[in-house]
Amino acid sequence: MVRARIPREVLEDRLRKFVLTWRDTEVWELAESVGGNLMYQFQAILGTEFGEPELWQIEANNNSFLTNEERRDVYDMLWSYVQTGILRPITGGPMNQSQTAWGELYITPYGREVLSGGSPLPEDTQEFLQSLKTEAPQLDSTAHFYVEQALRAFRARLYAATAVMNARGALAVDY
């Protein structure tokens, strides 16, 4: 039986929670060929929630629980965390498993602050929009629509379109 795709928004939420479990000095191996790597550990967490009993453990052990599309989503999210300074890539030292340039990640103090409850990242669209509804309940559906479109444009690195959508959303707000 094929399991349903885990929505990107759910993966984003679970990745945020997973990263927050890292200790300040902890470094996570990226190479999937190395035992105990980041993806292996993350798949094990997802397996308990989304996997078939008795099957997900085998899939997680074989690094095959996540589909290729889900795996790419997770790596895209990790990269956005690197770009925003939440995670920092490093090269493994002589005592580490990885000797690959930028083969490991660790959470920065700034990253812990942001993920622990600071303002949501624009990359986390669902969380950002939920926060907006809470902090600005007076926004109508038109303004909300343009903010959501701006966030989607931002994620696609269409920064001019992001500015246009934000400006159009601001015009929809009654002061």
The CATH classification number of 8-115 equals 1.10.10
Q: Which pTM does this prediction carry?
A: 0.70
Percent of the chain with pLDDT over 70: 88
pLDDT for residue 98 is more than 60:
no
At residue 24 the predicted structure's pLDDT band, cuts being 50, 70 and 90, is confident
Asked which of 27-36, 45-54, 135-144, 159-168 is least confident by mean pLDDT, the reply is: 27-36
11, 4, 123, 102: which is closest to 52 by C-alpha?
Answer: 4
pLDDT for residue 97 is more than 60:
no
Name the residue ranges covered by the structural domains of the chain. 8-115, 125-171
